[in-house]
Amino acid sequence: ENIIRPGQPVAEVNETTITTKEFQKRARFVRRFYVTQYLNLVNFLSSGAVDQSFASQYQLQLRQIQFQLEPENLGRQILDDLIEAELVATYAQENGITVTEEEVDQGILGLFFNYQPPSSPTQTPTPTGAPTSTLSATQLALVTITPTIELPSTATAEAGVTVTPTFAFPTPTVQSTETFGEEYTAQLDTLKADVGWTEQDFREYARVILLLDKVKAVVTADTPRSEEQVWARHILVADEAAAQAVLERLAAGEDWAALALELSQDTGNATRGGDLGWFNRETMVAEFGDAAFALEVGEISEPVQTQFGFHIIQVLGHEDRPLDHNAYLAAQDAAFQIWLDDQRAAATIVEYDYWIDRVPTDPAIPPQYILP
């Protein structure tokens, strides 16, 4: 009765079964990735090459990996990934989207080995500047500073901004075919020894990733390449009485930038007149974003209360602005997640509670490296 059978389902998506075997194979593969990442960080910290002022950040990364490896957290991630992969596969089948064996071959090179064949031309990215605006007479009368599309990092923390980290992929490594073949064979041998994966398992995993990318490209093709943004500045104070005093001094003709420098508790941008740059509505906490987007250019708000205190906001610009590359990718990610959520809501999905007892605990971090 307590025997775990590999063919037993951990979940069902419409008429498709996700088996215990699939679940455990994927979980072991992902565990191996996290454990390897963890041990690489440990080795880096032990090398003596780390500036001690950054050591706490690496310690935080280690704790985050430990958290991700907790059975409930890892199992939930794997189950969600497998369910979403099935939803993607169903959509692909219904819409004639496929991944060829040749695409799998090429995908493995790029996804897992960062491989660039010797004959491939070097691709040089074309730099693109941040979008700029032509200031109106009203805007020129308000400020003499140059707006930037980037939110200052210190302002984001104070203004309630959600910051999404971005990662740059390393430059592809040019290798001979022979060298790559040796590396590929060695990787497969390691995967088989560590987590029991065969070459077919590896290829199927690559196929899942490539199919997801193709479906994502189709369902997010209409993602807008511009969005409504405002350019605003603010003065942050502790209470409403102080905010009213700021309004009175502004009404009396005092300079905004001077008041921001003197009074604003948002020290990250007080020296810049409280300038927050351009941002979309969702960047800020709801109360701030709603108030800023309701103002006309040049208009000054009444005190706006947020979790950070009371803000006096002035909007300096309001327009649709083109998204830079990273912002567009983030918009695509958000659109795809909405699509996935809709697919899940429309599907018949059954999860079996016993999946939590079937999450593998190997490969594991060696006990001597686990943080207390």
Q: What pLDDT, on a 0 to 100 scale, did the predictor assign at position 183?
A: 84
Which ranges in the chain are annotated with CATH 3.10.50.40?
A: 227-322
Q: How far apart are CA 148 and CA 118, in angstroms?
A: 41
State the amino acid at position 314 in one-letter form: Q
Q: Is the pLDDT of residue 211 over 70?
A: yes
**Percent above pLDDT 70 for the chain:** 82
Smallest CA-to-CA distance from 24 within 365, 358, 363 is with 358
Q: Is the pLDDT of residue 121 over 80?
A: no
Read off the pLDDT of each residue in 6-19 and give the average, rounded to a whole number: 95
Q: What pLDDT, on a 0 to 100 scale, did the predictor assign at position 122?
A: 43
CATH fit for domain 227-322, picks 3.40.1800.10, 2.60.40.3950, 1.10.150.120, 3.10.50.40: 3.10.50.40
CATH 1.10.3470 is held by the domain 9-118+176-220+331-369: no
Own/partner contacts of 141-149, CB < 8 Å, gap of 24 or more, are 141/298, 142/298, 142/314, 142/316, 143/233, 143/273, 143/275, 143/316, 145/272, 145/273, 145/275, 147/231, 147/275, 147/277, 147/278, 147/316, 147/317, 148/277, 148/278, 149/277, 149/278, 149/321, 149/324
Confidence band, pLDDT 50/70/90 cuts, at residue 125:
very low
Q: What is the DSSP string of 175-214?
A: --HHHHHHHHHHHHHHHHHHH---HHHHHHHHHHHHHHHH
61 or 154, higher pLDDT: 61
Question: Which of 60-64, 102-106, 158-162, 262-266 shows the lowest mean pLDDT across its residues?
Answer: 158-162
Residue 279, H or E segment: strand 275-279
Q: What pLDDT, on a 0 to 100 scale, did the predictor assign at position 31?
A: 96
Confidence band, pLDDT 50/70/90 cuts, at residue 177:
low
Handedness of CA 218, 219, 222, 223 (dihedral sign): negative
Which ranges in the chain are annotated with CATH 1.10.4030?
A: 9-118+176-220+331-369
Q: How far apart are CA 34 and CA 359, in angstroms?
A: 15
Handedness of CA 317, 323, 327, 328 (dihedral sign): positive
Read off the pLDDT of each residue in 220-230 and give the average, rounded to a whole number: 96
Q: Is 119 exposed, middle or buried (0-12, 13-18, 19+ CB in 10 A)?
A: exposed
Q: Are 287 and 305 in contact (CB under 8 A)?
A: yes
Average pLDDT, the chain: 85
Q: Is the pLDDT of residue 148 over 50?
A: no
Q: What pLDDT, on a 0 to 100 scale, did the predictor assign at position 344?
A: 97
Handedness of CA 270, 56, 32, 341 (dihedral sign): negative
